[in-house]
C-alpha cells in the first residue's frame, strides 16, 4: 500500500568514528535481515560520512538502524547534487506521490540544516531553508520546532575532516529523516558505570559492532572462549543472545584479581561476570562462564554448535601466567590454594599464532553452518600482509578491518563465516601462510590501547 513497499533511495549519515568498520557492519546487518544491498565498494570513500543506498523498503532501513552503531541517522533521499542548484533539479524529479503525504495541512514538520567539516551560522541555516524551492516542497503543515511529526534535513558536505573546507559544498542532500541508529547505546553501556571491569574490557561501541558483524540475533547461542569480564557477551546478550564464556584466569572469573579502577583497593564481593548481565537486566540470557583452557577443544561435546563466536584473544598466554605467579603472594590467595592448580597448562609455551590457529580450528568444528567467528588479530603495521591471516577450509573471510593503535601497531577485526561442514579426519585444519609472530619480541612491541587504564575513573 504505502510508499514503503517500493525500492527507494536512502541516505545513510555515518558517524565519523571507526570508519574502517562501517561498510562491514552495514553489509552484515543487511544480510542479517535478508535485505538486498548493492554497494560499489571500490567507489566508496570511507571518509565521506554520507552514503546513498538503494533498499527494497523503508522497513529494511529501520531494521538496519535498529542495530547499527556506525550510522547516525537514515533519511529517505529526496534530492542530491554537487551543488544546491543540482540538488534542487534532482528534487524536482522526485516522485511527487511520495512527497505529497508529508505536505498535508494536517501535519507538523521542521527543517534542519547540517554541515560536515564546516560550521555554518544559524543565520546561514535560516537562509538555506528560505532558499529551498517552494514550488517543489509544498509544505502546508505547521512548523513545529519542538515536537514535529516529520523532520526534513538539508545536508552539506565540505570534504574530509581536517581538510580546509571549500566555499561551496562538494555535495548537498535533502531527505526525510527516518530514524537514528544505536549510538546512544555507547553511553548506556559506558564502562565507568559497569559493575565488573578489568584492563582488557572492550569498549561498548566496538563490542556492539562485533556482535553486529557476527550477526547475533534473538535466541542465538554465543560463545567467547577468552571471556574475561564478559564485555563482548554483554553486547551479544543485548542483541538477544544466550551466552557462554571460558577464561583460564581463575582469579579474574572469581573477581579476585586486582581491581582495575584507581582508588579501589579490593574488588567488591558481588563483582562477577554474571553481575554485569544483571546490571543491564540481561541475566536471563547469561548461561555460564567456566574456568577452562580454550585450547582444550574436547571440553565441548561434538554436537554443540554455537551461532557465533566473538572474542578478543590474549596477545600472549604468558601474560596471564605471570599474573598468577605474582598474585600467589597475596594472602587472600592462600585460601584458594586447594582449588588453584599449582602448575597451570598455560605455562607451557603456547606460541602466539597457535592461539589463532586453535581458534579457527575450534570455530570450524563448533560453529553452526553460516555461523560467524569475529576476533581481533594484533599486527605490526609495517610487516603485516594478507598472508599473515590464518585460514581454514571451512571458514570464509568476510571482513578484515584495521583499527590503528599507534604508528607501529594495529589490531584487525576479522570476521569469518562457516561455509563448509567440518569433517574429522578430513585434513581440515587451520593454517597460516606466513607466520606474523615469529619474531618473539612482537609482544613487547605490542601494547594495548590506553583507553581503559586506571585514569578511567578520573
Partner 1 sequence: MKLITHNMLTSNIIKGVTKGYPLGIIPRKVEVKDVDYNPEFLARMIPNMDWSAVCKAAKDVGHDEGLPKEIAPNFTENDEFLKAAHHVLLEIDVVEGDLVCPETGRKFPVSNGVPNMLLKEEEA
What residues between 102 and 161 interact with ligand SAM by CB under 6 A? none
Residue 247 binds ligand SAM (CB under 6 A): yes
Strands of the sheet with 71-81, listed across from one edge: 50-55, 8-14, 71-81, 171-180, 150-157, 108-116, 142-143
Residue 296 binds partner 1 (CB under 8 A): yes
Binding flags for partner 1, 298-337, as an x/- string (CB under 8 A): xxxx-xxx--------------------------------
**Residue closer to partner 1 (CB basis): 293 or 402:** 293
d(CA 341, CA 172): 64
- Asked if residue 10 lies in contact with residue 52, where contact means CB atoms within 8 angstroms, the answer is yes
CA atoms within 13 A on the CB side of 359: 32
Could you say which of 288, 319, 387, 457 contacts partner 1 (CB under 8 A)?
Answer: 288
Binding flags for ligand SAM, 379-408, as an x/- string (CB under 6 A): ------------------------------
- Cell for 180? 537514528
Taking the complex as a whole, how short is the minimal distance between the CB of residue 173 and ligand SAM, in angstroms?
A: 38
d(CA 398, CA 363): 15
Binding flags for ligand SAM, 199-228, as an x/- string (CB under 6 A): -xxx----------------------xx-x
Binding piece for ligand SAM, criterion CB under 6 A, among 60-68, 99-107, 243-251, 298-306:
243-251
- Cell for 284? 536471563
- Contacted entry of ligand SAM, partner 1, none for residue 299, CB cut-off 5 to 8 Å set by kind: partner 1
d(CA 274, CA 234): 10
Q: Which residues contact 317 (CB under 8 A, 6 or more apart)?
A: 248, 346, 350, 355
Three-state DSSP class for residue 6: coil
- Cell for 392? 581454514
Secondary element (H or E) of residue 444: helix 442-445
Taking the complex as a whole, how short is the minimal distance between the CB of residue 262 and partner 1, in angstroms?
A: 26
- Contacted entry of partner 1, ligand SAM, none for residue 86, CB cut-off 5 to 8 Å set by kind: none
Q: Which residues bind partner 1 (CB under 8 A)?
A: 218-219, 221, 242, 244, 246, 248, 250, 253-254, 272, 274, 283-284, 287-293, 296, 298-301, 303-305, 339, 341-345, 347-348
Amino acid at each position: 500500500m504505502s510508499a514503503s513497499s517500493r525500492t527507494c533511495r536512502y541516505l545513510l549519515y555515518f558517524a565519523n568514528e571507526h570508519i574502517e568498520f562501517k561498510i562491514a557492519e552495514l553489509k552484515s546487518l543487511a544480510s542479517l535481515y535478508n535485505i538486498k544491498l548493492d554497494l560499489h565498494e571500490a567507489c566508496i570513500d570511507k571518509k565521506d560520512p554520507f552514503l546513498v543506498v538503494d533498499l527494497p523498503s523503508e522497513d529494511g532501513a529501520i531494521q538496519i538502524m535498529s542495530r547499527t552503531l556506525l550510522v547516525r541517522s537514515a533519511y529517505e533521499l529526496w534530492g542530491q547534487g554537487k551543488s544546491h542548484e543540482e540538488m534542487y533539479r534532482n528534487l524536482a524529479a522526485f516522485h511527487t506521490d511520495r512527497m505529497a503525504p508529508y505536505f498535508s495541512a494536517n501535519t507538523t514538520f521542521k527543517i534542519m540544516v547540517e554541515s560536515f567539516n564546516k560550521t555554518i551560522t544559524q543565520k546561514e541555516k535560516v537562509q538555506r531553508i528560505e532558499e529551498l524551492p517552494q514550488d517543489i516542497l509544498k509544505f502546508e503543515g505547521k512548523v513545529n520546532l519542538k515536537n514535529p511529526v516529520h523532520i526534513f534535513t538539508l545536508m552539506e558536505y565540505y570534504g574530509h575532516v581536517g581538510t580546509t573546507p571549500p566555499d561551496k559544498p562538494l555535495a548537498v542532500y535533502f531527505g526525510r529523516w527516518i530514524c537514528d541508529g544505536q549510538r546512544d547505546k555507547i553511553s548506556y553501556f559506558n564502562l565507568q558505570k559497569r559493575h565488573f571491569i578489568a584492563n582488557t574490557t572492550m569498549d561498548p561501541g566496538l563490542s556492539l559492532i562485533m556482535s553486529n558483524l557476527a550477526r547475533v540475533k534473538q535466541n542465538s547461542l554465543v560463545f567467547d572462549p577468552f571471556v574475561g569480564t564478559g564485555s563482548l557477551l554483554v553486547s551479544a546478550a543485548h542483541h538477544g543472545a544466550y551466552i557462554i564464556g571460558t577464561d583460564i584466569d581463575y582469579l579474574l572469573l572469581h573477581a579476585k584479581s586486582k581491581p582495575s579502577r584507581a582508588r579501589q583497593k579490593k574488588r567488591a564481593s558481588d563483582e562477577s561476570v554474571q553481575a554485569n548481565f544483571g546490571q543491564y537486566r540481561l541475566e536471563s540470557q547469561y548461561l555460564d562462564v567456566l574456568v577452562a583452557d580454550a585450547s582444550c577443544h574436547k571440553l565441548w561435546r561434538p554436537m554443540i554448535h554455537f551461532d557465533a563466536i566473538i572474542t578478543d584473544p590474549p596477545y600472549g598466554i604468558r601474560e596471564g601466567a605471570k599474573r598468577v605467579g605474582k598474585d600467589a603472594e597475596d594472602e587472600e590467595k592462600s585460601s584458594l590454594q586447594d582449588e588453584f592448580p599449582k602448575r597451570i597448562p598455560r605455562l607451557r609455551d603456547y606460541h602466539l599464532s597457535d592461539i589463532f590457529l586453535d581458534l579457527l580450528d575450534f570455530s570450524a568444528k563448533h560453529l553452526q553452518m553460516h555461523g560467524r567467528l569475529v576476533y581481533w588479530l594484533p599486527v605490526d603495521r609495517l610487516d603485516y600482509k594478507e598472508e599473515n591471516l590464518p585460514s581454514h577450509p571451512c571458514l570464509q573471510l568476510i571482513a578484515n578491518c584495521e583499527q590503528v593503535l599507534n604508528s607501529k601497531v594495529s589490531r584487525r577485526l576479522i570476521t569469518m563465516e562457516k561455509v563448509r561442514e567440518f569433517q574429522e579426519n578430513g585434513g581440515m585444519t587451520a593454517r597460516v601462510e606466513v607466520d606474523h609472530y615469529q619474531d618473539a619480541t612482537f609482544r613487547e612491541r605490542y601494547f594495548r590501547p590506553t583507553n581503559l587504564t586506571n585514569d578511567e575513573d578520573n
